[in-house]
């Protein structure tokens, strides 16, 4: 990518023209696994069909898609978020250094539940000053490098915002409504708490999103449209009008787990009987009550009908963080059906140890 950047910067500098406002188009390469908006003319690379470049008179907008190398493949399989973020941070630093640049900003917030770094930098190459913004994302199978670079003062912040803001991961191929995929613990909790050796299965069209950076806000998994609905106000989740439903993972703040006995308690000493009694007092009718071991961890699964809604909850204990309990919920679609129970059962079945 560095050589490509240098060549483009020098070429753009030689053009030395003013951007005349070229039209934007939405691009969704069939094999790319993404969609994005970009201006200018696409410049195919005969040596790399997975490099998508769009050039205007003074700027270039690039998406490069690469398979994971052995280090990242292993880190993804192990759910080693720290290694992945460290790896792409080294890539960031080497790129800025090789381009005689200076880092202006950098954020390691996850992108759709995947490790990512978004950074801006500027510098001078071949006597030409440039500005750039780049994002690196590591998914289960690929690394995405999304870059906007242009002559200083001509590549506008609005164009960088539009380019990066329009990037979205897309399914590599159409998926069946009942298809699931496996993700790491780190992905499932948006890397907000220390990892443990379990994995989850989620519907294949679900993506992850942290509504706010706080640990208490947890991590949501759903389709993009449902997540947009639920997080329109990130401080007040709205799960009332979902199309496909949302899975929600967060550290419990009112139930703890005794590491010696595996018993769940509301912090009042009443144990699991107290939790059940509280559901009844709230007007709930228990449909499923199952104390079991899941992926080697103590678990309490509760499904209850409350007024005109069905509540799905799973407490996983012995996570060795804070209350020692991870609370998992499924918020069903506005139009309920037997498919809701089926999805929840499939989700529970997919929680397993990483050997």
Judge if 214 and 164 occupy the same domain: no
Q: What is the pLDDT of residue 141?
A: 80
Q: How many domains does the chain have?
A: 2
Residue 143 β-bridge partners: 66, 138
- Residue 299's nearest CA partner among 328, 342, 335, 266 is 328
Domain extent for 36:
2-169
Is the predicted pLDDT of residue 74 greater than 70, yes or no?
yes
pLDDT at 40 over 50: yes
Judge whether 175 lies within some domain: no
Helix (H, G, I), strand (E, B) or coil at 158: helix
Tell me if 109 is assigned to some domain: yes
CA distances from 89 to 33, 84, 115, 120, 262 (A): 23, 9, 11, 13, 39
Question: Are both 217 and 343 inside the same structural domain?
Answer: yes
Q: Do the beta carbons of residue 207 and residue 224 sit within 8 Å? A: yes
Residue 311 lies in a domain: yes
Whole-angstrom distance, CA of residue 155 vs CA of residue 281: 60
292 forms beta bridges with 299
Residue 295 region by backbone torsions, left for phi larger than 0, else alpha for psi between -120 and 50, else beta: left
Q: What is the CATH number of the domain that holds 35?
A: 3.40.1000.10
Identify whether residues 163 and 287 lie together within a single domain. no
Q: Among 125, 141, 169, where does a domain finish? A: 169
**CB of 52 within 8 A of CB of 35?**
no
Task: Please identify, among 148, 169, 190, the residue that sits at the C-terminal boundary of a domain.
Answer: 169
For residues 67 and 205, membership in a common domain is answered with no
pLDDT in tens, 118-174: 999 999 887 888 999 999 999 878 999 999 998 888 889 999 999 999 999 875 455
Strand order in the sheet with 34-39: 24-27, 34-39, 168-169
Q: Are residues 121 and 188 in the same domain?
A: no
Co-location of 153 and 262 in the same domain: no
Give residue-wise pLDDT tens across range 253-279.
Answer: 999 999 999 999 999 999 999 999 999
Percent of the chain with pLDDT over 90: 57
pLDDT confidence of residue 19: 47
Cα–Cα distance for residue pair 139/104, rounded to 1 Å: 25
Model-level pTM?
Answer: 0.65
Q: Is residue 174 part of a domain?
A: no
pLDDT at 100 over 50: yes
Residue 343 belongs to some domain of the structure: yes
Regarding whether 145 and 46 lie in a shared domain, the answer is yes
Same domain, 123 and 194: no
Distance CA(183)–CA(113), nearest Å, equals 10
Report the pLDDT value the prediction gives residue 15, as an integer from 0 to 100: 53
> Does some domain include residue 299?
yes
Last-in-domain residue among 141, 169, 197:
169
> Does 76 share its domain with 207?
no
Average pLDDT, the chain: 88
The span from the CA of 66 to the CA of 138, in Å, is 10
HSE (side-chain half, CA atoms, 13 Å) at 47? 2
Question: Where residue 17 falls among pLDDT bands split at 50, 70, 90?
Answer: very low
Nearest CA among 325, 308, 329 for reference residue 316: 325
Residues 113, 192: one domain?
no
Residues 190 and 331 in one domain: yes
Verify that 163 and 187 share a domain, yes or no: no
- Residue 257 belongs to a domain: yes
- The per-residue pLDDT for range 310-352, each reduced to its tens digit, is 999 999 999 999 999 999 999 999 999 999 999 999 999 999 9
Return the structure tokens found at 134.
């780049």
C-alpha distances out from residue 77 to 84, 140, 141, Å: 11, 8, 10
- List the alpha helices (DSSP H) in 238-310: 271-281
Task: Give the separation between CA 273 and CA 281, rounded to whole angstroms.
Answer: 12
**Which candidate, 332, 260, 273, places its Cα nearest to that of 300?**
273
Please tell me the predicted confidence (pLDDT) of residue 46: 82
* Per-residue pLDDT reduced to its tens digit, 188-244: 998 888 889 999 999 988 888 888 888 898 999 998 889 888 988 877 778 989 999
pLDDT bin (cut points 50, 70, 90) of residue 11 is low
In a domain, 124, yes or no: yes
């Amino acid at each position: 990518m560095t050589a490509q950047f240098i060549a483009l910067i020098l070429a753009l500098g030689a053009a030395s023209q003013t951007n005349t406002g070229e039209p934007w188009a939405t691009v969704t390469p069939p094999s790319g696994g993404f969609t994005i908006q970009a201006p200018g003319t696409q410049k195919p690379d005969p040596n790399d069909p997975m490099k998508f470049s769009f050039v205007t008179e003074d700027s270039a907008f690039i998406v490069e898609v690469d398979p994971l190398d052995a280090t990242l493949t292993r880190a993804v399989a192990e759910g080693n978020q720290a290694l992945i973020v460290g790896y792409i941070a080294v890539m960031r630093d080497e790129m800025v250094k090789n381009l005689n640049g200076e880092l202006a900003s950098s954020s390691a917030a996850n992108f759709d539940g995947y490790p990512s770094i978004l950074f801006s930098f500027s510098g001078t190459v071949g006597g030409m000053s440039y500005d750039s913004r780049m994002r690196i994302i590591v998914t289960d199978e690929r690394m995405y490098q999304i870059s906007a670079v242009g002559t200083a003062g001509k590549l506008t912040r609005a164009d960088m915002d539009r380019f990066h803001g329009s990037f979205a991961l897309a399914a590599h191929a159409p998926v069946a409504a009942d298809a699931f995929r496996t993700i790491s613990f780190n992905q499932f909790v948006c890397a907000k708490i220390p990892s443990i050796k379990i994995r989850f299965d989620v519907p294949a069209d679900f993506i992850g999103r942290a509504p706010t950076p706080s640990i208490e806000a947890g991590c949501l998994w759903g389709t993009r449209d449902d997540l947009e609905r639920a997080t329109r106000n990130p401080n007040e989740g709205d799960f009332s009008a979902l199309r496909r439903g949302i899975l929600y993972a967060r550290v419990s703040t009112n139930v703890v787990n005794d590491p010696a006995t595996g018993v769940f308690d509301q912090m009042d000493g009443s144990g699991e009987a107290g939790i059940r009694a509280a559901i009844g007092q709230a007007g709930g009718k228990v449909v499923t009550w199952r104390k079991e071991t899941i992926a080697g961890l103590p678990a309490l699964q509760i499904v209850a009908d409350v007024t005109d809604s069905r509540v799905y909850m799973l407490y996983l204990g012995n996570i060795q963080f804070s209350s020692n309990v991870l609370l998992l919920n499924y918020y069903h679609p506005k139009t309920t059906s037997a498919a809701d129970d089926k999805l929840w059962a499939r989700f529970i079945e997919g929680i397993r140890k990483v050997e």
